[in-house]
Amino acid sequence: MSAPAGVGAGRTAGRAAARLAATSALLAAAGCTEAVSPPPLGDYTTWKRVDVRGPAPGHGDTHRIIYANDVAADPTRASTAYPDGSIVVKEIRDLDGAAPGALRYLAIMRRDAADPDLATDGGWLFTQADEPGGAEVRPSFCWARCHQAAPYDGAWYDYRR
């Protein structure tokens, strides 16, 4: 017997949220994250948008909706180096056919090369949140495990295009 329409999707989203909460708790307990309070993002969904699907280190086989603010996406910028004030927000979502699925979490990058606390992370503050406007934590591994190899100054895409 099959479940009523929408019940399976709700259970899947619920399980994904429970997994994320459990993973976040484990990382915090292991000393892999720290709570941070950066300035609020506001409505980042008005920024330049790029959709990417498929496997990605650190994000799994997901649909990622990536938003870049006007500083990161400035087409007049001559260099591939991201200036201070650049912000990139990645909505990490389940795959759901051709459409983005349920939100797993947000992965956020904020550029502030002048901050000495960010020197070991290429001048980026990497954070994660369970939902837009939610509390953010700073994972200790984003730069070392992935972003230091990125071709665009710690980012995998040149958002000027």
Domains plus CATH for the chain? 7-149 (3.50.70.20)
Residue 21 pLDDT greater than 50, yes or no: no
154: helix, coil or strand?
Answer: coil
Q: Note the pTM of the prediction, 2 decimals.
A: 0.77
Amino acid at 32: C
* Dist CA 135 CA 9 (whole Å): 25
For residue 145, what pLDDT is reported? Answer: 66
Residue 6 pLDDT greater than 80, yes or no: no
Highest mean pLDDT among 4-8, 21-25, 147-151 belongs to 147-151
Confidence of residue 80 (pLDDT cuts 50, 70, 90): confident
Confidence of residue 139 (pLDDT cuts 50, 70, 90): confident
For residue 26, what pLDDT is reported? Answer: 42
The token pair that represents 111 in the structure block: 């550029």
Nearest to 92 by CA among 78, 76, 107, 77: 107
Residue 54 pLDDT greater than 70, yes or no: yes
Residue 46 pLDDT greater than 90, yes or no: yes
Element (H, E) at 24: helix 7-29
Nearest to 86 by CA among 110, 63, 65: 110
pLDDT per position as a tens digit, 97-113: 888 999 999 999 999 98
Residues paired with residue 112 on neighbouring β-strands, in sequence order = none
More confident residue, 37 or 153: 37
Nearest to 111 by CA among 133, 91, 82: 82
77: helix, coil or strand?
Answer: coil
